[in-house]
Structure 1
Amino acid sequence: MPDRTSISLVKASDSPRSSRFGRRAVVAGTAAGTVLLIALTLFIWEPWVDRSPFTARVHSAMASARFEDLGGGSCYPKNAGKKVELFGEDKQRLAVSQEPSRGEILTSEYGDVAGYCFAYVEFKNVPGGEDTYYLKSEDKLYSADGKSVGLQEVAEESLRQSPTEAKDGWIKFHAPDE
């Protein structure tokens, strides 16, 4: 009877153990690539950012030199009717409005700004989702050292405040000691 010796034609590297490792590496690489792609998509898209148009308001409290007291708690800002522009992060103009023609005199509960005229400029349909907006007014503003102030930086959070929220913020305001 002939001697039957079995011969294996399988290479040592083709063992079932190494092919399982190769499949796991491919699966792990695919999963890591998918996670990376999803993270990159979310980073670019930013679905948590509210991009819906909103009514932006820029609030201010003006000292007595900048308004006329109309009596009854009302005031008339001296810069009323002047053009105000709102720009986006890329410095493209988003909206145009005018300085308000009426304001409200803040009462004694507002501490350091009591007697100031509280007024706000309103911009309709401002696109949301920009971290920073810029404001430019026809009314020239100057810093303490006498230099003209160009574009003023304004955060979206501030622009989204209602007049009541903004007014309440002035209650805690303390003027710096000179």
Structure 2
Amino acid sequence: MTLISYSEGRRQRNRNKKKPLAEECKGLEMEEVRVPVQDLQTTRQVEKRLRRDEIYPLRKNCHGNPGALYTCALCDIPLESISHAFKHVRDKRHKKRAREKQEQLMLTEIMPPGPEHISAVTAALNAVVHEHGMNDQDVLKRESLVSVMQDVLLSVLPGDFLNFYLMTCMSQTVGSHCLKSVD
């Protein structure tokens, strides 16, 4: 290690770690030259297939598993060989995470609805309300029925509980946009 002196007179070690890694990468390039071309192409095809499944070759040694050659980006798991990588791809947890990522990507790529979509949904809702909706006469009948039920229940139940319950029920069911089948 080289020592670097600063103007203050202190000396510190140069911790340049990139140099050994560069030498290591050169060593890998030299090994690739010795490997037959067909094996190299097969390995590249396999790694391309693994990349589609979010499994990438490691550039540095993994501290937790020094024998690992690949890592799964979805599951954050070091893998020791190509066979372990393919076994991991078939694993239920990896498939679930891949499916979740695909769904997330699909949801982010959905375009917002355009004016023609909005008008189609509005027309469909208006048709349903017109066919099954309540008219003013039905709303009056429902309000009178609610008042009769409230009088009967007030004689039996405590007032505070009943008022709270009826207010929540009325806010959910009474209105001109309610459907007749709610009864």
What TM-score results when the alignment is normalised by the length of structure 1?
Answer: 0.22
Structure having the higher helix fraction is 2
- Which of the pair is proportionally richer in strand? 1
Calculate the TM-score normalised by the size of structure 2: 0.21
* Higher RCO (CA-CA < 8 Å; seq separation 6+): 1
- Structure 1 or 2, whichever has the larger Rg, is 2
